[in-house]
């Protein structure tokens, strides 16, 4: 498992190569999506924390608290001090997530991960704010099936 900051840094560094920069708002959503899809595919957590159903969208708290001081639209530089060596499977998933969502605005990503029926939507008013990875996996598997 990785720290969510390591995954965020991967996207930040990858974006720099393409001349793209991510806001704190956008990077939190992309890391959540990468974590969700990775678990869906491998039934193994990508990051060392569980998503939480906060007021407006799902959040990975450690990542959020690391970058919450950065204004909503400001672009961020690296967060994790050391360069992370990723596995082949991790790179495949992260590159695919990057390719799909790199041009999406943070607001569009937020709407995607907090839409009606999403794991966040189902947990936002529950007694616990923890969204289990298996709940996320079932949702994304259902999404894949309905897209066919």
Report the alpha-carbon distance of residue 35 to residue 64 in Å, rounded.
Answer: 14
Rounded Cα distance, 109 and 107, in Å = 5
Q: If 0-12 CB within 10 Å is exposed, 13-18 middle and 19+ buried, where does residue 9 land?
A: buried
What string of pLDDT tens digits covers the 148 residues of the chain? 999 999 998 998 899 889 888 888 899 999 999 999 999 999 999 999 999 999 899 999 999 998 887 765 545 565 656 677 899 999 999 999 999 999 999 999 999 999 999 999 988 877 788 999 999 999 999 988 877 6
- Contacts with 54 (C-beta within 8 Å, 6 or more apart), sequence order: 129
- CA-wise closest residue to 104 among 38, 35, 11: 11
φ, ψ of residue 73 to 5 degrees: the values are -100, -5
User: Alpha-carbon dihedral of residues 79, 81, 85, 87, nearest 10 degrees?
Assistant: -30
Query: What's residue 86's pLDDT?
Result: 93
């Amino acid at each position: 498992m990785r720290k969510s900051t390591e995954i965020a840094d991967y996207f930040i560094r990858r974006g720099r190569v393409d001349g793209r920069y991510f806001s704190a708002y956008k990077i939190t959503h992309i890391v959540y999506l990468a974590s969700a899809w990775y678990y869906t595919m491998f039934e193994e957590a990508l990051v060392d924390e569980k998503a939480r159903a906060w007021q407006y969208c799902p959040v990975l708290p450690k990542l959020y608290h690391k970058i919450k001081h950065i204004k909503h639209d400001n672009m961020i530089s690296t967060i994790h001090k050391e360069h992370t060596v990723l596995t082949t499977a991790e790179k495949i998933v992260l590159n695919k997530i990057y390719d799909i969502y790199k041009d999406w605005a943070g607001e569009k990503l937020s709407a995607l991960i907090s839409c009606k029926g999403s794991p966040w939507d189902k947990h936002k008013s529950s007694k616990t704010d923890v969204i289990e990875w298996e709940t996320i996996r079932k949702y994304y598997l259902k999404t894949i099936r309905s897209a066919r």
